[in-house]
């Protein structure tokens, strides 16, 4: 650590470019590793992190970012170009923390050497005039004790201290004692652990991934076999999705309990999973998945992130064939679990492509777990499925399911409605068991409701290391803030003919600016002096 | 278990009463600060004492007993104000306990409860500081932000007693949130001390500045010491709170750190306080600049306390306004 700036090198005419470059590098290095720079960088880091709390971030909420950009015109776009919606992976944020890490290394290396030297060094000489020290107590030894006895007793009293005994003229002996090296140890442990934490945090980001998937809570299963099994997948730069840790999860049910006011109180999903050798033997192991207790298996974690409803519809086509589907609808109001979505049907047994494209069906609209009607407008009055109902439009025509364009499972392609390829053929509210008859004789029955859960699979190979460094950091911080470095001296002079008892002086100095040494000094000196009396 | 509405109503009354008592204590101690000879006296005493402290790093036992000079009316009022402060703190503690009994869980599951606990910790910290430093007449300055926070908390953020979301049903709620509460609550004290420090230091440099106000404040290095000591207490506690939050997030949200707004502002506050500690070891940054950094930290804590929950929609906001 350099607390003062390096003295400016006096320009000497015979300096070669090499030397000048060297001097420049050295000065840059000194500047970068000075305490003042560290301080400025810390400030910049805090400042740079701030936009991430104030502006929407792509990683957390991408749609909100798009909304924000379109609401703010050129200004929103400019912020985007400056990476203000990806603050924590932006060039400028990375630059600041990389500089801070360099500064940290530059600061810690010389300090570690100094630390080792200081550990080996002997405690400083006893000052000539102890009475000038901030803590000072004179006293007399017992008449019977000579200098050697007093010193030996003092050594015993100071057993936890690093100390050295010295002799002065006239049979005077002194002890210099020091304590509190743990402070510097703690400080170094703290800073090094922080370095380790940052490095392993970054490695985790490179080698980790997170994937989200919706699974019907009716015994459907999901396997961590590849990116395409996920609805969304975020991976570190070093993950290509080819060899994910293999495991499978089967979701058997989902239970939510709510308080009388409709606030959720309890979520539980009974799942089964298989990983490792179980995959070969086909063994499923049960697990109760809850919000605060993820499944940990095969080095990955599986979380219960959310849940929702899948209304179930049965379509009976004019030729008598039937199809039943229960597709997830997305929750639009978390308080009442009102949901919207689109359940899409393809009539079976039709081989003619053109005809098929005129006969596809989509049931879209709202689902309410506890129906509440304002006239014919459906809303939900509670999140539990006490009285489920749907308010749906039935669309017929070409859904474009095989148009090659991916489409959302929650809605139909609006452009097809606009240009007439999809036509609305019915609109109706349905309770469980009720049905709609279409003009061509097709019947659509609302059969009830199932549930889905959304799961997240997380993989972070370094988080254990991060935790370890965090704990070390905390311990180091504690030592570095709570331990005080302090010195203590004892000087024992032989008595005179008239007064044979020895003269003892005890003095102390705290080397760090926390107060509180006084109490300890008082106690120790009491023992040192008191022990001699009597 | 059902919510006990009677207890929760008593808790609300106690909260309001405590806030009202703080207002009275605030005015009383401002009277002492404004009119008391104590101001001057305390100042002299503080200077004497700070000399001792600087030299000796001494504990209170080494302090020369204050000369028992005649006690004027403002001092008596100030003393009454301090007693009222204790009473208010006891009432606020009862409010917290009753709330916990009413909802059968740790009483810090939403913003209102959190704010109630943080301001309580601030007051308790101040009582401890008053026991170690002659700063009773400054109580009003501390109570000003406390009362404002309590008012905002009790009006804009009030939440009826209710159980918490499944994600909050964890023993980490007790550990993580209580560390955050203690850390944040204590951090408000050095913030106030640092503001006063800036007045005092400006006056010491140029004694025409704040000529009526600043001389009644304790010496600059006493204020600095109060700020430093409370900060180094709060900093590890706050650090612990953030670390526990990360451990909890790993099991509740699927990652230990995700730059959620609340996490981000906690990180910012942490970095600012780290900067404060560094500034005290950096030539040219001790004193006024360090105090200014501490005030920035104070701002970050208050910002995190309210603004983040009210304005941004992060994961933490479900611990929010109800
Ligand atoms: C990532 C950025 C950093 C953070 C978050 C950080 C944090 C801290 C904290 C919390 C302390 C308080 C412990 C104590 O007072 O003993 C501290 C002390 C210290 N840090 Fe850092 N530090 C950082 C970078 C640096 C750098 C780059 C340097 C060197 C230039 C440095 C040098 C020191 C020194 C010398 C102390 C002891 C100061 C004292 O005794 O009060 N730190 N640091």
Query: In this structure, is residue B286 part of a structural domain?
Result: yes
Write the residue with the smallest CA distance to atom 10 of ligand 1: B274
What are the structure tokens assigned to A150, written together? 């007093």
Ligand 1 pocket test: which of A111, A191, A475 has the largest number of ligand atoms within 8 Å of its C-beta? A191
Place of tokens 């140890």: A185
Beta bridge partners of B12: none
Residues of A in contact with B312 (CB under 8 A): 53-54
Contact between residue B137 and residue B32 where contact means Cβ atoms under 8 Å apart: yes
Collapsed DSSP state (helix, strand, coil) of residue B36? coil
pLDDT classification of A380: cutoffs 50, 70, 90: very high
For residue A35, what is the nearest residue in chain B, using CA coordinates?
B282
Please tell me the distance from the alpha carbon of residue A156 to that of residue A133, in angstroms, as a whole number. Answer: 23
pLDDT classification of B257: cutoffs 50, 70, 90: very high
Please tell me the distance from the alpha carbon of residue A43 to that of residue A223, in angstroms, as a whole number. Answer: 46
**Could you tell me how far CA A373 lies from the centroid of its own chain?**
44
Atom of ligand 1 nearest to the CA of A34: 30
Collapsed DSSP state (helix, strand, coil) of residue A136? strand
For residue B62, pLDDT over 50 is answered with no
- The number of folded domains in chain B is 1
Ligand 1 pocket test: which of A41, A109, A480 has the largest number of ligand atoms within 8 Å of its C-beta? A480
pLDDT at residue A5 in the model: 44
For residue A505, pLDDT over 80 is answered with yes
Please tell me the distance from the alpha carbon of residue A303 to that of residue A454, in angstroms, as a whole number. Answer: 8
Q: What's chain A's average pLDDT?
A: 88
pLDDT at residue A14 in the model: 62
Identify which has the larger pLDDT, B74 or A44.
A44
Query: pLDDT above 90 covers what percent of chain A?
Result: 49
pLDDT at residue A460 in the model: 93
In the 8-state DSSP scheme, what is residue A325?
E
Identify which has the larger pLDDT, A257 or B73.
A257
Please tell me the distance from the alpha carbon of residue A333 to that of residue A368, in angstroms, as a whole number. Answer: 10
Identify which has the larger pLDDT, B2 or A464.
A464
The burial of B271, by beta-carbon neighbours within 10 Å (0-12 exposed, 13-18 middle, 19 or more buried), is given as buried
What are the structure tokens assigned to B219, written together? 């010496």
Contact between residue A410 and residue A329 where contact means Cβ atoms under 8 Å apart: yes
Query: Which residue, among B161, B164, B163, has the nearest Cα to B6 in the 3D structure?
Result: B161
For the segment B154-172, the average pLDDT, to the nearest whole number, is 82
- Highest-confidence range of A401-405, A492-496, B191-195, by mean pLDDT? B191-195
pLDDT at residue A502 in the model: 87
Please tell me the distance from the alpha carbon of residue B184 to that of residue B233, in angstroms, as a whole number. Answer: 11
pLDDT at residue B70 in the model: 54
Query: pLDDT above 70 covers what percent of chain A?
Result: 95
Atom of ligand 1 nearest to the CA of A512: 40
Beta bridge partners of A430: A390
Query: In this structure, is residue B68 part of a structural domain?
Result: no
Compute and round to an integer the Cα radius of gyration of chain B: 20
Beta bridge partners of B284: none
The answer to whether the Cβ–Cβ distance between A259 and B268 falls below 8 Å is no
For the segment A177-197, the average pLDDT, to the nearest whole number, is 93
Contact between residue B125 and residue B191 where contact means Cβ atoms under 8 Å apart: no
pLDDT at residue B265 in the model: 92
Residues of chain A with CATH 3.30.2030.10: 129-180+484-530
pLDDT at residue A78 in the model: 92
The answer to whether the Cβ–Cβ distance between A467 and B247 falls below 8 Å is yes
For residue A353, pLDDT over 50 is answered with yes
What are the structure tokens assigned to A368, written together? 């309410």
Place of tokens 């050497």: A113
For residue A121, pLDDT over 70 is answered with yes
B214-244 pLDDT, tens per residue? 888 888 989 999 999 999 999 999 999 999 9
Q: Is A474 on the interface with B (CB under 8 A)?
A: yes
Lowest mean pLDDT among A86-90, A257-261, A268-272, B249-253: A257-261
Structural domain containing residue B238: 165-317
Note the ipTM here. 0.85
Please tell me the distance from the alpha carbon of residue A43 to that of residue B275, in angstroms, as a whole number. Answer: 7
What separation in angstroms does the CA of B290 have from each of A79, A282, B145, B204?
32, 64, 21, 17
For residue B69, pLDDT over 70 is answered with no
What separation in angstroms does the CA of A188 have from each of A30, A193, A477, A506?
19, 8, 9, 31
**Could you tell me how far CA A197 lies from the centroid of its own chain?**
12
B113-140 pLDDT, tens per residue? 999 999 999 999 999 999 988 899 899 9
Distance from CA of B207 to the nearest CA of A (A): 28
pLDDT at residue B167 in the model: 76
Please tell me the distance from the alpha carbon of residue A60 to that of residue A57, in angstroms, as a whole number. Answer: 5
For the segment A176-185, the average pLDDT, to the nearest whole number, is 91
pLDDT classification of B65: cutoffs 50, 70, 90: very low
What are the structure tokens assigned to A172, written together? 């005077």
What are the structure tokens assigned to A1, written together? 């650590």
For the segment A30-57, the average pLDDT, to the nearest whole number, is 87
Query: pLDDT above 70 covers what percent of chain B?
Result: 84
In the 8-state DSSP scheme, what is residue B66?
P
Please tell me the distance from the alpha carbon of residue B72 to that of residue B84, in angstroms, as a whole number. Answer: 19
Best residue in A5, A292, A301, A469 for a mutation probing chain B (most B CBs within 10 Å): A292
pLDDT classification of B55: cutoffs 50, 70, 90: very low
What are the structure tokens assigned to A382, written together? 């509670």
Please tell me the distance from the alpha carbon of residue B203 to that of residue A342, in angstroms, as a whole number. Answer: 71
CB atoms within 10 A of CB B285: 20
For the segment A415-424, the average pLDDT, to the nearest whole number, is 89
pLDDT at residue B188 in the model: 95
Superfamily of domain covering A129-180+484-530:
YwmB-like (3.30.2030.10)
What separation in angstroms does the CA of B176 have from each of B100, B172, B261?
17, 5, 17
Query: In this structure, is residue B146 part of a structural domain?
Result: no
pLDDT at residue A274 in the model: 94
Distance A191 CA to ligand 1 centre (A): 7
For residue B61, pLDDT over 80 is answered with no
């Amino acid at each position: 650590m350099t607390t003062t700036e390096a003295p400016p090198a006096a320009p000497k005419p015979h300096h070669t470019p090499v030397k000048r470059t060297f001097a420049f590098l050295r000065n840059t290095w000194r500047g970068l590793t000075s305490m003042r720079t560290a301080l400025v960088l810390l400030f910049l880091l805090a400042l740079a992190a701030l936009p991430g709390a104030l502006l929407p971030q792509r990683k957390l909420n991408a749609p909100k970012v798009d909304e924000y950009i379109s609401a703010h015109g050129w200004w929103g776009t400019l912020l985007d170009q400056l990476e203000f919606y990806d603050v924590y992976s932006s060039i400028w944020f990375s630059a600041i923390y990389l500089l801070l890490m360099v500064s940290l290394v530059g600061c810690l290396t010389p300090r570690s050497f100094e630390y080792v030297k200081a550990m080996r060094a002997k405690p400083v000489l006893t000052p000539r005039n102890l009475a000038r020290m901030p803590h000072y107590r004179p006293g007399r030894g017992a008449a019977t004790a000579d200098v050697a006895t007093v010193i030996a007793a003092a050594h015993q009293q100071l057993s936890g201290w690093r100390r050295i005994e010295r002799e002065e003229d006239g049979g005077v002996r002194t002890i210099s004692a020091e304590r509190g090296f743990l402070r510097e140890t703690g400080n170094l442990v703290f800073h090094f652990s922080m370095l380790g934490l940052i490095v392993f945090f970054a490695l985790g980001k490179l080698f980790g991934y997170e994937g989200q998937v919706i699974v019907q809570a009716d015994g459907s299963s999901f396997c961590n076999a590849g990116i395409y099994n996920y609805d969304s997948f975020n991976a570190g730069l070093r993950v290509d999705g080819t060899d994910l840790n293999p495991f499978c999860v089967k979701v058997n049910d989902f239970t939510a309990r709510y308080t009388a006011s409709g606030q959720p109180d309890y979520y539980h999903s009974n799942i089964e999973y298989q990983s490792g050798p179980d995959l070969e033997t086909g063994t499923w192991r049960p697990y109760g998945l809850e919000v605060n207790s993820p499944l940990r298996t095969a080095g990955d974690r599986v979380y219960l992130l959310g849940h929702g409803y899948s209304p179930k519809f049965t379509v009976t086509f004019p030729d008598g064939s039937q199809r039943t589907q229960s597709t997830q609808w997305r929750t639009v109001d978390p308080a009442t679990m009102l949901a919207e979505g689109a359940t899409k049907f393809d009539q079976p047994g039709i081989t003619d492509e053109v005809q098929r494209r005129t006969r596809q069906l989509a049931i879209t609209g709202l689902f309410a777990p506890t129906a509440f009607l304002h006239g014919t407008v459906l809303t939900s009055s509670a999140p539990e499925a006490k009285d489920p109902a749907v308010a749906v439009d039935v669309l017929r025509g070409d859904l474009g399911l095989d148009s090659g364009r991916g489409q959302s499972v929650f809605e139909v392609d609006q452009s097809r409605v606009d240009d007439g390829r999809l036509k609305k053929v019915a609109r109706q509210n349905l309770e469980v068991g009720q049905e709609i008859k279409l003009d061509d004789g097709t019947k659509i029955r609302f059969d009830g409701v199932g549930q889905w859960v959304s799961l997240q699979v997380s993989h972070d190979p370094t988080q254990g290391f991060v935790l370890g460094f965090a704990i070390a950091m905390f311990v180091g911080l504690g030592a570095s803030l709570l331990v005080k470095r302090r010195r203590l001296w004892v000087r024992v002079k032989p008595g005179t003919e008239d007064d044979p008892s020895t003269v003892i002086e005890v003095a102390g100095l705290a080397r760090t600016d926390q107060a509180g040494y006084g109490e300890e000094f008082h106690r120790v000196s009491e023992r040192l002096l008191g022990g001699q009396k009597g | 278990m059902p919510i006990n509405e009677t207890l929760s109503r008593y808790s609300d009354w106690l909260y309001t009463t405590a806030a009202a008592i703080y207002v009275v204590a605030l005015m009383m101690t401002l009277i002492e600060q404004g009119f008391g000879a104590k101001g001057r006296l305390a100042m002299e005493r503080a200077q004497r004492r700070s000399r001792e402290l600087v030299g000796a790093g001494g504990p209170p036992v080494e302090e020369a007993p204050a000369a028992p000079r005649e006690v004027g009316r403002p001092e008596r009022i100030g003393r009454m104000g301090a007693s009222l402060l204790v009473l208010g703190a006891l009432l606020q503690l009862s409010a917290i306990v009753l709330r916990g009994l009413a909802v059968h869980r740790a009483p810090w599951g939403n913003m209102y409860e959190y704010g109630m606990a943080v301001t309580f910790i601030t007051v308790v910290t101040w009582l401890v500081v008053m026991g170690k430093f002659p700063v009773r007449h400054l109580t009003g300055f501390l109570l000003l932000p406390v009362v404002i926070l309590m008012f905002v908390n009790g009006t804009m953020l009030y939440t009826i007693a209710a159980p918490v979301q499944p994600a909050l049903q964890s023993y980490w709620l007790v550990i993580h949130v209580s560390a955050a509460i203690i850390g944040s609550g204590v951090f408000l004290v050095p913030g106030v001390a640092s503001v006063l420090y800036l007045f005092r230091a400006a006056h010491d440099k140029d004694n025409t500045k704040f000529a009526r106000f600043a001389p009644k404040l304790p010496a600059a290095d006493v204020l600095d010491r109060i700020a430093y000591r409370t900060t180094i207490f709060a900093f590890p506690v706050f650090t612990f709170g953030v670390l526990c939050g990360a451990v909890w997030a790993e099991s509740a949200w699927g990652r230990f750190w995700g730059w959620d707004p609340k996490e981000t502002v906690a990180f910012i506050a942490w970095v600012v306080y780290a900067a404060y500690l560094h500034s005290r070891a950096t030539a040219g940054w001790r004193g006024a600049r360090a105090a200014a950094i501490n005030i920035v930290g104070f701002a970050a804590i208050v910002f995190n306390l309210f603004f983040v929950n009210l304005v941004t929609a992060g994961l933490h906001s479900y611990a929010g306004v109800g």
